[in-house]
Structure 1
């Protein structure tokens, strides 16, 4: 299943969740009404009295459930993935940590973010959980957090940890996190009946029916737990198969993921979570966090067999016996198996042409399935190629702002307008530091620019809210200043602005508006015109028309060169496209940029940035091995 189809399926799951929620609420209201009818002796009342009581009680229940769900979802949405991790006792893993286990975890997460073309999420560890488990939470990829248990950190080797993290990243890329947050809000609303009932139960007074109603609500609220688990099972189970499959695409091997699942099955702790709030996130977890009637995950043995058809369930008993004598140690296994971080490999020449086919690029969106090279290895080599001092500054809270602003100015370090924009918001010292960074980063390889920006992003988003607002204003001003930034800088600045905005506001800066067909066609034409002029100006019109034919065939939209700043008008319409329409759009962009059948490394990175802007994450396409580069 490709990324675009998966996006459609997530939307269907969201609609399915709404239907299930409505059915559950109606059922609960009917049950409460029936119980109240008999307990309150309404059979002796007039029809009008009965009707008024039933309508009033039903409205109260619907409003109570609806408002509870709404506010719970709002709190989770505004808190981001970090709030969910913290609610389970999660501890943030700093970007510049030197602890070997935590450093290994952060490296794996950063490699996977580069491999999947998504922002680097916050990373948490659940220190009190000995079971092997993990989850990803957040409302958008820009405010995502990935959390792993202490047991996963201790017991899994690097390949197995990669498999688990890749599984969680598939939820990030496919849009499952937003559905998970909504599911948490919906279920809390249903369970909220029990909370309301507990309050009413303690209201005293003569001939006061509220305690009796409270008892009814408590009973029905816990009946709601039944419906909650039923909804979780209905929504979640199939997604776990898809996440396992996506994890294999990201890592290009099954051994790591299978090894992690076998350790869950062979160790006494399994995937269990002890935290009382683990029920809230059971549908998010990598493994079944605790036993219940309605499992949110497929059976463990079935998941393993799907990945490894040769698996014999008897192996789990053998592993259990072996690990009773000595539990596995992930770091020790790394040493024995020689599992080390990917090393730096030579980067491809900046202007080396690489053969490209639109269908191959489209198939790569939202995946890392490249036949000749494992994407996580490629991402690891990219991470290793970033100079250590630059990487340190990207991970340091006091150095990250000048670094990011300098990265946006790197192609024109002497741009006076950009210096003035920065100085007006942060002062001359920051502007000067950004100018120095721009000069230092001017020679940075194009393949490293987008990953460096994404690595700096999680540090930037934890700055004080007032500073984040100033950064948003500054980046927006830089993007809109014609003549200061070329197309590469414009798109990178727009991407950083969008990600930071989504992190702060939990929504896209241009909203979720659905544009009309004419506006969509004009937006695509503007984007293709800018891309065509950037590639090979002499062939710009031919490239423009070839790309346009992919998206709006037969539409007489004349070609006219436009500056990058006019792209400000295209993002709302293009980002609001449905999955299949975005698929055609990406194919059209590839056709424009690679009109002659090849693309340079710089053009590939531009394409990745534009795809990220419209939420179509594209993994690195430029291989670091010279022999893979077309001559």
Structure 2
């Protein structure tokens, strides 16, 4: 899968969605006009320009304009309101709307812990923030979904049936499918689809309101009963007509969802197989859906709005079954497993005692995957690879490496990272200075800004944090993000101030501190409303020369041994962009300026981000190796750019994409 092309395709599909939406609204306006004019004619209340009442007399421009304006206002207002509601609530609003419960990151329940472990592994392997996980406790069907406007705001939801009835490999296949939707832009399109189509459904809701008003309208005096009866008949007629129009709106809504979503499910299935290199996992999940009496059905009444977001067909009755957003499960299985014999699999709840499902509840990764094994076997074949091609394209080796990293985290840190106070202590622990005087100042910051529980955890965990391997710093940070995201807005403001003060304690900002702020605070600022979503603003790099110079100059100076080597690396990267760029002197390579530069570069179109990542890749590939500092800086940069990059493997040799030569 080409990540950057997928982003462009998703943007084009949004345009297609708007075109279909406008077409549907035009048809609804015509239907609403026919209904209202017809009811008024039938009631004898409409006489067009003095002409006699006639069923063929439906041509009144003023009435058409009035109904058209009213319909546009109603539909547009409904869509706008829903989009604002979703924008404020994000993926969590969708998950809670269909009955999801946020899974506590410190849970020791077997089913929940296994689910969290799989999601955590997939996130670290794909280079995305670890998303909150919701469990749909009341849903026995086997299903899952991902929702959110961006990877930084994504949530993953799984039904109770899916969490209990799928094996670990099958669950991994389903979660990989959902991560494909996160990575290729489908998730943002899907959540916009909910908001846009909500406006169409408002017409039907108005019809139902008018019907109730007509039926339950009050009495009055006898003198007015005749007039009131006539008005009631009009209200009932218009209400019934708009209810029919609402049915047509539902028809169009399901048709649009099917037109936009159906083919993307095949692509997500294929991406999941590529991600895990285990076709039997996702195929097994689909076979269990086919063989289970509840299939993938979602009983929650709000499921109709989000039916296109689920892994399997959530609705099996009405128009949603006719205009399904998902291909038949048989077709999906045969694309993955051409030799399938047509038999479905009967499922049963997975128990903790099952040999293949045993997990260590004190760890973030499953047992049965010894550190290093599996990764070392395939490193030779995957040693030389383009970083650009792996953006949005994690491989099985990255999943295995993610398991290794998570299993290597000391148990005390792994447990603390899942707790509200512990996760904060882990982050500030990684920022704690080796200098005794600076460390004392940081401790004073904790007394002033931190909650008492955070200071206690900081003191307890500090020896373990300071002895942590360098390669584990980013995985620990990423594992802590879900618990940090569960803070209240007030708690987050205090935590954020604490992080900033810890970084300022030594009067300087080093590279790791900048990277940590971008990786941890960047996504949380978005979640807590401190930072706006970055819309595309630049479609050419011509106006961003100084920003490109700043980024590439800093990157060239990190990990190289001499100014000459840095200059050569910069020149190679500048050639990729095809621009006349100047290599900045060391005193101008400030992290403050880098922060501003990367922030502006994050507002470029996907095709430009591809070139930027290629330039960064060429810069660090100058010596065909990547240092820990380069890896952390590159990770922070691509996080800000919104480009999910799988982890760089230990000792990996990096070569620039040959297309940049």
**Structure 1 unaligned spans of 5+:** none
Confirm or deny that 1:520 pairs with 2:544: yes
Q: Which residue of 2 aligns with 1:306?
A: 335
Q: Which residue of 2 aligns with 1:250?
A: 275
Separation (CA, whole Å) in 1 of partners of 2:335 and 2:352: 28
Confirm or deny that 1:160 pairs with 2:170: yes
Q: Which residue of 1 aligns with 2:412?
A: 389
Q: Which residue of 2 aligns with 1:487?
A: 511
Change (3 A) 1:478 1:63: farther
Q: 110, 131, 154: which is aligned to 1:121?
A: 131
Q: Which residue of 2 aligns with 1:44?
A: 47
Change (3 A) 1:176 1:508: farther
Change (3 A) 1:333 1:306: farther
Q: Which residue of 1 aligns with 2:302?
A: 277
Q: Which residue of 1 aligns with 2:26?
A: 26
SS of corresponding position for 1:146:
strand
Q: TM-score, normalised by structure 1?
A: 0.89
Q: Which residue of 2 aligns with 1:345?
A: 371
SS of corresponding position for 1:514:
coil
Confirm or deny that 1:268 pairs with 2:293: yes
Q: Which residue of 2 aligns with 1:447?
A: 471
Contact 1:88/1:275 (CA < 8 Å) preserved in 2?
A: yes
User: Offset of 1:526 from its aligned partner?
Assistant: 0.3
Of structures 1 and 2, the larger Rg is shown by: 2
User: Offset of 1:483 from its aligned partner?
Assistant: 5.2
User: Offset of 1:413 from its aligned partner?
Assistant: 7.7
Change (3 A) 1:506 1:260: farther
Separation (CA, whole Å) in 2 of partners of 1:572 and 1:98: 39
Structure 1 residues 457-479: Cα deviation after superposition (integer angstroms, max 9, x where no partner): 11111111112233344545666
Q: Which residue of 2 aligns with 1:462?
A: 486
Structure 1 residues 6-62: Cα deviation after superposition (integer angstroms, max 9, x where no partner): 111111111111111111111101111122222212873129993222211211111
Confirm or deny that 1:363 pairs with 2:366: no
User: Offset of 1:557 from its aligned partner?
Assistant: 2.1
| Between 20-29 and 395-404, the greater mean CA deviation after superposition | 395-404
Change (3 A) 1:234 1:573: same
Structure 1 residues 349-402: Cα deviation after superposition (integer angstroms, max 9, x where no partner): xxxx99999962111111113xxx532222111111111101111111122222
Separation (CA, whole Å) in 2 of partners of 1:588 and 1:436: 43
Q: 138, 144, 149: which is aligned to 2:154?
A: 144
Change (3 A) 1:410 1:150: farther
Q: TM-score, normalised by structure 2?
A: 0.85
Q: 225, 247, 263: which is aligned to 1:238?
A: 263
Confirm or deny that 1:606 pairs with 2:633: yes
Change (3 A) 1:540 1:437: farther
SS of corresponding position for 2:146:
strand
| Between 463-472 and 183-192, the greater mean CA deviation after superposition | 463-472
Confirm or deny that 1:287 pairs with 2:312: yes
User: Offset of 1:244 from its aligned partner?
Assistant: 0.9
Contact 1:402/1:437 (CA < 8 Å) preserved in 2?
A: yes
Separation (CA, whole Å) in 2 of partners of 1:93 and 1:39: 52
Change (3 A) 1:103 1:7: same
Q: Which residue of 2 aligns with 1:2?
A: 2
Q: CA RMSD in A?
A: 3.1
Separation (CA, whole Å) in 2 of partners of 1:413 and 1:96: 33
Confirm or deny that 1:540 pairs with 2:566: yes
Contact 1:413/1:435 (CA < 8 Å) preserved in 2?
A: no
- The size of the alignment, in residue pairs, is 610
Separation (CA, whole Å) in 2 of partners of 1:113 and 1:358: 23
User: Offset of 1:248 from its aligned partner?
Assistant: 1.6
